[in-house]
């Protein structure tokens, strides 16, 4: 019964003293089936602003003296297939002194810590396909659809199963698995090169939110279906070694069933020693 915290991106008028965390629209659907339902009667935003970490703590006690405003914007017209533009889910919370802090924050990586999908992973996939002369290119709209499939190896396999395997691909099932694994390994190398060069910056507010959490004794972890080396590179190079040393990573093939299956969050909960009701998924 983990709760999911999602808020709208910062605007030019946002105060620098109030950290705001943002999500890609596709990630607005990643929520716990047991996340609290907000009463429709609570339709007015609070008068005072709080940090998003304060909002996370407040969300744990919605039922006791909290005022929550919730609204969901619609996708931008003409871009329904584009996961990189459109609506977001907004959540504003007024804090209370009695609000308990969560025991842990579990972050996704791609599109949450960094805008990696469109200009990171997709580009690296295409460069890998080009190097191997496969005659395959994933444009933004197609990749948006492929993101519904968790995991890069699984994504490529599903695509080739549907559209037909390249002529250079082997014919046997086991050989094809090895072929996909080799493509994914090369794709990860290209992606990590982008991260190491810091060509993909952290999303606004991420570092401050993590600092607030760690400074308050709240455990922080990253749960991702991406390759473990790629996720570790993002955490290490972009968040820095000091933060990275305090963040546990659950990624890649650490679980058999990938998102949207909750297996990776169950593993994180058990490993961190945190009850499901006491952590939040971002």
The torsion defined by the Cα of 135, 137, 143 and 146, in degrees rounded to 10, comes to: 0
- Out of 110, 115, 119, 139, which one is annotated catalytic? 110
Q: Give the containing element (helix H, strand E) for 89.
A: strand 89-94
* C-alpha–C-alpha distance, residues 118 and 116, integer Å: 6
SS3 219: strand
- Characterize the bridge pairing of strands 104-107 and 279-281: parallel
DSSP-derived secondary structure letter, 121:
I
* C-alpha–C-alpha distance, residues 22 and 203, integer Å: 7
* C-alpha–C-alpha distance, residues 173 and 217, integer Å: 48
Active-site residue, 173 included: no
| Phi, psi of 255, rounded to the nearest 5 degrees | -130, 155
The HSE-up count of residue 282 (CA atoms within 13 Å, CB side) is: 30
Q: Give the containing element (helix H, strand E) for 124.
A: helix 122-131
- DSSP per-residue string spanning 235-267: IIIIH-HHHHTTEEEEEGGGSSS-TTSTHHHHH
DSSP-derived secondary structure letter, 95:
-
- Out of 108, 115, 139, 261, which one is annotated catalytic? 108
- Locate 103 and state its tokens: 């025991």
Active-site residue, 253 included: no
Which residues lie below 8 Å from residue 182, measured CB to CB, with a gap of 6+?
Answer: none
| Phi, psi of 180, rounded to the nearest 5 degrees | -65, -40
Q: Which residues are catalytic?
A: 108, 110
């Amino acid at each position: 019964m983990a709760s999911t915290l999602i808020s709208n991106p910062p605007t030019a008028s946002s105060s620098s003293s109030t950290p705001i965390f943002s999500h890609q629209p596709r990630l607005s659907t990643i929520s716990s089936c047991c996340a609290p339902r907000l009463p429709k009667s609570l339709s007015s935003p609070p008068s005072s602003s709080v940090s998003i970490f304060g909002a996370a703590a407040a969300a744990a006690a919605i039922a006791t003296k909290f005022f929550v405003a919730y609204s969901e914007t619609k996708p931008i017209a003409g871009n329904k297939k584009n996961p990189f533009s459109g609506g977001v889910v907004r959540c504003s919370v007024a804090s209370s002194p009695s609000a308990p802090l969560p025991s842990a924050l579990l972050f996704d990586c791609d599109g949450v810590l960094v805008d990696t999908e469109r200009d990171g992973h997709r580009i690296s996939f295409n460069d890998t396909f080009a190097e191997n002369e496969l005659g395959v290119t994933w444009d933004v709209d197609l990749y948006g659809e492929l993101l519904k499939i968790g995991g890069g190896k699984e994504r490529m396999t599903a695509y080739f199963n549907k559209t037909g395997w390249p002529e250079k691909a082997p014919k046997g099932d086991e050989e094809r698995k090895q072929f996909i694994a080799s493509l994914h390994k090369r794709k990860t190398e290209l992606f990590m090169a982008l991260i190491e060069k810091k060509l993909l910056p952290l999303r606004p507010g991420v570092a401050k939110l993590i600092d607030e959490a760690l400074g308050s004794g709240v455990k922080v972890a990253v749960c991702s279906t991406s390759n473990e080396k790629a996720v570790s590179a993002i955490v290490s190079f972009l968040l820095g070694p000091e933060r990275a040393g305090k963040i546990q990573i659950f990624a890649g093939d650490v679980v058999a069933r990938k998102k949207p299956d909750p297996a990776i969050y169950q593993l994180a909960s058990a490993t961190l020693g945190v009850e499901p009701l006491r952590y939040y998924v971002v």
